Amino acid sequence: MPTSIKMPALSPTMEEGTLARWLVKVGDTVSAGDIMAEIETDKATMEFEAVDEGTIVDIAVPEGTEGVKVGTVIATLAAEGEDPGAAKSAEPAKPAKAEQAAPAAKAEPEQPQAVEKAPAPQAKPAPTTVATSGSGQRILASPLARRIAAQQGIDLSTIKGSGPNGRIVKADVDGLQGAAAAPTAPQARPAPAAPTEIPDFGIPFEAEKLNNVRKVIARRLTEAKQQIPHIYLTVDVRLDALLKLRSELNASLEGEGLKLSVNDLLIKALAKALDRVPQCNVSFAGEELRKYTRVDISVAVAAPSGLITPIVTDAAKKSVSAIAGEMKGLIEKARDGKLQPHEYQGGTASLSNLGMYGIKQFEAVINPPQGMILAVGAGEKRPFIVDDAVSIATVMSVTGSFDHRAIDGADAALLMQAFQQLVESPLGIIA
């Protein structure tokens, strides 16, 4: 019997998506793990893989379709050995029969039996991908689901699959990752909707429809400002020693194809500061305070579809060169819309740097469920008192935004002080 391919939930917050591009057409044969389509989620454009072998007999949702709800049938797959023509003609008949049977259910008791029998065969495709756990237990899982589980250290034997015959698919693994973070999100999600119509006052304009990423940014930032009591602390930090160290490190790395940026060093400095002041590496989670034992830094990156925050995991323990290499790859993937969920979901704190645009100082909005974000301004020459004498120094203003429900002002001040000390005496960053 034919298998219905449904719009997957490719991220924990995804409710609908845009079917950006089909990579297969009617008549194509696919195997488990083959990439079938590109789907624009609420975060990025991601690849969608097949979980069964078979032939594509129908594409129900054309590419470019927006607002496709999760669970909507987008294509139909004929199982191996099944006549594609028969499968295609048989598939549309099922919903019609179910719809006709529904109103007559009371009058004819035999009709409900026909409705119950129709969906049953859809769960029968023969398993094509079988994984084995360390204990020897047979586990049905798609190749991509196994790969993500291995990267994240997830035991597949603990997951109940939603695919055919209970097969574990990518959405199941992503859902498990999202389930851990879900309780930390604010419970009161609804935010006042923007007015559907606003006066234009006769001013010429062009209306551009919001993409999924921009919609999520608007909703999450609105919720963050409404629900999180922000407290802001600012310090002025001398950069001269850090700039000198960066120059020396880049000279030593010459010929290796890697160049450290100031931002790479600041990521490491924030991670080390959080390691020294762990009471700021926390999240407010309703009835509990979540204290993280690892420092994962989310770094704000401007992508064509909107702001996204790829993550440097365990940044306090990584070398600056490792952070630089990782950030280079993450930025490229972010701008191409190719980030995978585990590369942008999570993080324990964020860093946003607008110094390259000449911005002197700003206050960033906390990225929930995180407890803080550091906003970095431009380094500029300023009169500065050193050893009771006025001199010229390169100084930048750094502002920390803290969730006052989780972080006290004194602890936030300790973190800002630790960050300042690490940047002004940067050997502590590479120690």
Give me the active site residues, please. Answer: 404
Six token digits for residue 134: 């360390």
E-strand ranges in 91-222 read 130-132, 138-140
Q: Output Rg (C-alpha) for the chain, integer angstroms.
A: 26
CA distances from 329 to 112, 253, 332 (A): 55, 18, 5
Q: What are the percentages of helix, strand and coil residues in the chain, rounded to 5?
A: 35, 25, 40
Six token digits for residue 220: 């999450």
Q: Are 372 and 400 in contact (CB under 8 A)?
A: yes
Six token digits for residue 154: 């997830």
Q: How far apart are CA 14 and CA 343, in angstroms?
A: 16
Q: How far apart are CA 412 and CA 237, in angstroms?
A: 16
Q: In whole angstroms, what separates CA 163 from the centre of its chain?
A: 23
**Coil, strand or helix: which one is 39?**
strand
Q: How far apart are CA 37 and CA 20, in angstroms?
A: 8
Six token digits for residue 381: 């020459």
Q: How far apart are CA 349 and CA 373, in angstroms?
A: 6
Six token digits for residue 171: 């959405």
Q: How far apart are CA 370 and CA 180, in angstroms?
A: 14
E-strand ranges in 229-269 read 230-238
Cis amide bond preceding 369, omega within 30? yes
Question: What are the residues whose beta carbons fall under 8 Å from the beta carbon of 146, sequence distance 6 or more?
Answer: 131, 156
Q: How far apart are CA 411 and CA 416, in angstroms?
A: 9
Q: Indicate the residue type of 428.
A: G
Question: What are the residues whose beta carbons fall under 8 Å from the beta carbon of 390, sequence distance 6 or more?
Answer: 383, 384
